[in-house]
Structure 1
């Protein structure tokens, strides 16, 4: 990992909290043609089911809001069951498509971007990458499009790549924010 800038260097501006964590990381370079595809990690045979799941999730949220006014205990129970189903779905998804050991790596992560090492030097500053992360222990799988802001060769031959998220859904950004917050809480408890 590159060293921190010296006093005379340009300051590293931070808009978000950053953490160093070991996550599952899948990277795909994007071409101009890929920019029209909203999901570069698409598994076409499951897209319709995912859309239906999102629709049902929105329905549940609407009904829970009105139910909360009438019966708090029932609302709490339904939220717990919904959370349990979400976890079960993530476990099943991950078991069907597990990440290989080389896809788990140390990264620096924030809501604004990600930095990681790579053995490939084919990445150029300004290039766009599709990024899918698996964030343990919840196994959330946010994804984004990142623009490469820095690509530096290190002494060990690896490349330090820093990308800024230029396209990310609010829900995915919120998952990253929750992951960062939970990571910080766990570190304080140690």
Structure 2
């Protein structure tokens, strides 16, 4: 699960939830209830890959830091390195997605913001106060931010399912930035359609 640069929850979570832009989108969604007895367990069973992913993120940050100083000296070369870095990022996301493809039922309509997520669940499985491990796949970039969320509320629907409203209580800053970029790009695409 997310382990560094976490944004802690604030005291006034209801007000905070309204500070973020929300979008209605179709994303890949994997949800696991967290077990209080084993809070450190990886609910998505990715333990062998986590060290590699952490190293990849560290190298990516290193490249971005050097790009800033390189851009001051040679803009053309900095542009090329930035393009190559984006190409490697895209390739890494494609490989990660192909290794763990989502099934059609894992794609669903949600309401997403940097502060939380609302989604439909086929059964009344979750209740207020439950802690969930959430992994999202955000198209078209295939970013996979992960978070720990707390269920704030549930609403039963006509089809026997439940609408689950959550607040992110643990979210790496890099994952929050991925969500923010996704929301911003989604809004830009919607404006272009109009």
2:23 maps to which of 19, 24, 37: 19
Q: Is the 8 A contact 1:34 1:40 kept in 2?
A: no
User: How far apart are 1:53 and its partner, in Å?
Assistant: 1.4
User: How far apart are 1:17 and its partner, in Å?
Assistant: 0.8
**Structure 1 moving runs of 4+ over 4 Å:** none
Q: Is the 8 A contact 2:118 2:164 kept in 1?
A: yes
User: How far apart are 1:46 and its partner, in Å?
Assistant: 1.5
* 1:17-44 Cα distance to aligned partner (Å, 9 max, x none): 111110000000002234334x532412
Q: Is the 8 A contact 1:151 1:160 kept in 2?
A: yes
* 1:9-68 Cα distance to aligned partner (Å, 9 max, x none): xx9x6111111110000000002234334x532412212222221222222123222212
Against the structure 1 CA distance between its residues 42 and 65, is the aligned structure 2 distance closer, same or farther, given a 3 Å change threshold? Answer: farther
Counterpart in the other structure of 1:29:
33
1:79 maps to which of 78, 82, 94: 82
Counterpart in the other structure of 2:46:
43
Q: What count of residue pairs does the alignment treat as equivalent?
A: 180
Superposition map of 1:31-110 within 5 A: 31-37=35-41, 39-110=42-113
Counterpart in the other structure of 2:151:
148
* CA–CA distance in structure 2, aligned partners of residues 66 and 40 of structure 1: 40
Q: Is the 8 A contact 1:26 1:103 kept in 2?
A: yes
2:122 maps to which of 102, 119, 123: 119
Which runs of 5 or more structure 1 residues have no equivalent in the other structure? 1-10
Question: The residue matched to 1:140 in structure 2 has which SS?
Answer: coil
TM-score (norm 2): 0.87
Q: Which has the larger radius of gyration?
A: 1
TM-score (norm 1): 0.88
* 1:145-183 Cα distance to aligned partner (Å, 9 max, x none): 110001111122110100010110111111111111111
Give the aligned CA root-mean-square deviation in angstroms: 1.9
Deviates more, 1:26-35 or 1:170-179: 26-35
**Higher RCO by CA contacts (8 Å cutoff, separation 6 or greater):** 2
Question: The residue matched to 1:36 in structure 2 has which SS?
Answer: coil
